Structure 1
Amino acid sequence: MNKRTPLRLLALTAALAFGLPAAAQQTFKLTIASSHPTTLPWVGLMSTLFVPEVNKRVAALNKGYKIEWREAYGGQLYKMNATLSSVEQGVTDIGWVFHNLEAAKMPLSQFGTVTPFTTEDVRVILDVVNEMHETVPALKKEWERNNAVFLGATGVDTYHLFTKQPIATYADLKGRKISAPGSIGLWLRNSGAVAVDGALPSYYTDIQSGVSEGTISIATGILPNKIYEVAPYITTVNIGALYIGGMAMNKDSYDKLPADVQKIVRDVGQEYSKALGQTLMQRYEGALKTMVEVGARQTPAVRVTNLSAGEREKWVSSLPNLAADWAKTNAGKGPTKEIVKTYMDALRKRGVKPARDWDKEL
């Protein structure tokens, strides 16, 4: 017997007696990634809030756990058309999923897209959506069917028009090619405009090259991507803030974590979502102001105009019954009518007055 064996046994006995960890530190290697850059709030907070806060809480457990992170944002691992599949297949352990580009795999999650013109307050929308993932089981199960665990909703500030030429009336959209990601193109139905699929990383080149003549998009995304350089005419429409996806974790990776670490990941995911809403509201007005200031030096200069209330109402009323069409088309995939009604009721309970009561048209 090795002479040190009795000492090792004594150390083990002492550790057990005083409740000290006898085993070596357990390290979990996790990758967190996104198709979009950290200049966008919903990606930046993954690095500045989610990762350090999870580390802090895991260390506070005092169980010898440690997470070794690999952070890969800005399309290092995958592009915008693979946000869901990359989480599903474990290309990344945790990632931001852009469900607006995943209507086929995540049909139930599109409820926000088919109920536009509700509220510009993204904080309210994220609060409602996170609540619905607890009260409407079908929503959480949709993520699980794609081998993903929902951690927290992400959204964006209210949508406006950013175009190469001025848009003064709703009729001015007719014949225009307008970039809109995935199902957001539905908002152009009956306008006479042509929806061109794309996302923030592609808009600059698409507009510059003539693939499109502008985009329906968000100020906090247009500014860091400098899209105002090629689309200097900003028409504020207030189509509304939108639930666009969420941070999710590969279910196989999640299942390998201890239960208390799983809870930390879920809890911090919710805090990330809340912080995102607050950040977006803070940055929104500043983004519009900055684009005007910086864009004053270009030709043509950046100009902001408002679509009048009357023209906005023409847009709202001319839209087909998006929610009813969606509910009917996807009825076999889940409780679509219940989802729309739950969403609209929850918004109204929080003081929102939608421009159109989509749930009453089902």
Structure 2
Amino acid sequence: MTIKKLLQKKAIVITMASLISLPAVATETIKAVVIDGYPAKSMWVDEFSNFFIPEVNERLAKTNNYKIDWQESYGGTIVKPKGVLDGIKLGLGDIGIVTTIFHNSKLPSQSLAGVTPFISADARVVAKAIDEITKEFPTMEKEFARQKQVYLATGVVLDTYQIFSKERIESIKDLEGSKVAGAGIILRYLDGIENAAGVRGGLTDFYNMVSTGLVDHAMLWPEAAETFKIAEVAPFMLKADFGAVNTKTVTTNSRFWKKLPSEVKQVIQEVAIEYRDHVANIAMNRAKKSLDAYIAAGGTVVTMSQEARKEWADSMPDLAAEWAEGLDKKGEPGTEMLRAYMAKLKAAGFTPTRDWTAGLK
């Protein structure tokens, strides 16, 4: 063997030895506390555990640069349903699902779908439209920023609100003088009904509120009615089809988000949008099944006539104009947001029972 070849062989051996001696790049572990006050059996919570988290893990595993140590706390372990917003703000949770319907004063722009009832009972269309509005106008993200949070994606977990009752009802006349359980802006749907009173509560409260006689009716959706066995206490459902409403938003604590590597941020943002569409699809897929389950459990469905729906819509105050004007006065583009949202739903093929832009100035 020539001296040249000996030197080449020696160089190769030295190079390989040095590569073998290099330490492997360690995967960085990031701890993330996930919170929601609702129980793990709630659809959106269950899907966060079984869709969102595995999807993030799988994508991070492709590079193996980072992995997340998820610590899930649901069902009041850290916060109650109404406490998620403050819990993430205070750092009790790093990421969570805020039920926005409880926070009309702090998150007024989140009521956009709620103030425009009787249009679309398609969770997928409403979720996409709300997220588009969020990107086109800064208002929603700014509201969460004031709560020390980063907005990731909206969540529409229901096809449409309905009325569940102890006794059969068919129109707003049957609701006169009664008490109705509900949450947030949805209770304003009762404002035009004589002596009807809204009583605030959450999904976990409705069963007892009806069974004890605190209320006569509850406003929720069939999938939730199945989950919380509402047919046992409210065996009549008025199919009013108020429409899908964005009631959930996935957010992260701002300080937690700022510390995350860019790769992790990108993955979480991508999966949040997919989670939005995934949950909306489940809401739609479960709608018929849940209605069948309600009937099988002893429930009776009463379909509201189109005339009665229009009567109800026209009886309401101009919720949308009030909402838009309230934001306009704060220097936010409320009127523009409302017009844009309505245009998106119309473009998707939905005809409003009431034109909520008619009262705009």
CA-CA distance at 1:169 after TM superposition: 2.0
Aligned to 2:320: 323
Q: TM-score, normalised by structure 2?
A: 0.91
- The verdict on how the C-alpha distance between 1:40 and 1:157 changes in structure 2, with shifts beyond 3 A counting, is farther
| 1:27 paired residue number | 29
Shift in alpha-carbon separation, 1:15–1:106, aligned structure 2, 3 A: farther
Q: What is the alpha-carbon root mean square deviation over aligned residues? A: 1.8
- Measure, in 1, the Cα distance between the counterparts of 2:16 and 2:309: 75
Match of 2:261 in 1: 258
Q: What CA distance in whole angstroms lies between the structure 1 residues aligned with 2:77 and 2:17?
A: 45
Q: Verify: 1:240 aligned to 2:240, yes or no.
A: no
Cα distance, 1:348 vs structure 2: 1.1
Residue from 185, 202, 205 that aligns with 1:183: 185
Code of the residue aligned with 2:229 in structure 1: it is: K
Q: How does 1:96-135 map to 2 (within 5 A)?
A: 96-135=97-136
Say if 2:113 and 2:244, in contact at 8 Å, map to a contact too.
Answer: no
1:49 pairs with one of 38, 48, 51: 51
Measure the CA separation in 2 of the matches of 1:117 and 1:21.
62
Tell me the secondary structure at the aligned position of residue 313 of structure 1.
helix
Instruction: Structure 2: give runs of 5+ residues left out of the alignment.
Output: 1-14
Q: Which residue does the alignment assign to 2:303?
A: 306
Deviation (angstroms), 1:153 = 1.0
Residues 106-134 of structure 1: CA deviation (Å, up to 9, x unaligned): 11111111111111111100111111221
Residue 359 of structure 1 aligns to a residue whose secondary structure is coil
Structure 1 residue identity aligned to 2:50: T
Equivalent AA in structure 2 for residue 228 of structure 1: A
Aligned equivalent of 1:231:
234
Is the 2:310–2:354 Cα contact (8 Å) retained in structure 1? no
The answer on 1:14 being equivalent to 2:19 is yes
SS at match of 1:162: strand
Mapped contact 2:235–2:300 kept (Cα < 8 A): yes
Question: For the residues of structure 1 that align with 2:23 and 2:57, how far apart are their CA atoms?
Answer: 19
Kindly, what percent of the aligned residue pairs are identical?
32
Mapped to 2, the partners of 1:255 and 1:31 lie a distance apart of 15
Which consecutive unaligned segments of at least 5 residues does structure 1 have? 1-9, 296-301
Residue 197 (structure 2) aligned to one of 179, 194, 197: 194
SS at match of 1:340: helix
Q: Does the Cα contact within 8 Å between 2:35 and 2:84 map onto a contact in 1?
A: no
Letter in 2 for 1:312: R
Deviation at 1:12, TM superposition (A): 11
Deviation (angstroms), 1:249: 1.0
Q: CA deviation at 1:230?
A: 0.7
Over residues 133-164 of structure 1, what are the superposed CA-to-partner deviations in whole Å (9 max), with x where a residue is unaligned? 21112222211121111121111221111011
CA offsets 1:152-191 (integer angstroms, 9 cap, x no match): 1111221111011211222011111000102211111111
* Counterpart-to-counterpart distance in 1, 2:338 and 2:190: 20
8 Å CA contact 2:104–2:185 kept in 1: the answer is yes
What displacement does 1:27 show?
A: 0.8
Asked if the contact 2:37/2:78 (under 8 Å) is kept, the reply is yes
Give per-residue Cα distances to partners, 1:28-55, cap 9 Å, x unaligned.
0111121112332222110010000001
State the secondary structure of the residue aligned to 2:246: strand
Q: Provide the residue aligned with 1:62 in structure 2.
A: 64
1: CA distance, partners of 2:316 / 2:20: 69
Tell me the equivalent position of 1:83. 84
1:348 aligns with one of 337, 346, 349: 346
| Structure (1 or 2) with the larger CA radius of gyration | 2
Shift of residue 23, structure 1, vs aligned partner: 4.6
Alpha-carbon offset, residue 59 of structure 1: 1.1
Cα distance in 1 for partners of 2:262, 2:273 equals 17
Selected match of 2:210 from 207, 219, 226: 207
**CA–CA distance in 2 between the matches of 1:53 and 1:114?**
34
Show the counterpart of 2:333. Answer: 335
Q: Does 1:291 align with 2:288?
A: no
Give 2:309's aligned amino acid: R
- Divergent runs of 4+, >6 A: 10-13
Give the deviation of 1:290 after TM superposition.
Answer: 0.7
Q: Say which SS state the counterpart of residue 166 (structure 1) adopts.
A: coil
Instruction: State the AA in 1 paired with 2:282.
Output: T
Under a length normalisation based on structure 1, what TM-score does the superposition of the two structures give?
Answer: 0.91
Is the Cα–Cα contact under 8 Å of residues 12 and 22 in structure 1 kept in the other structure? Answer: no
Q: Distance in 2 between matches of 1:41 and 1:79?
A: 17
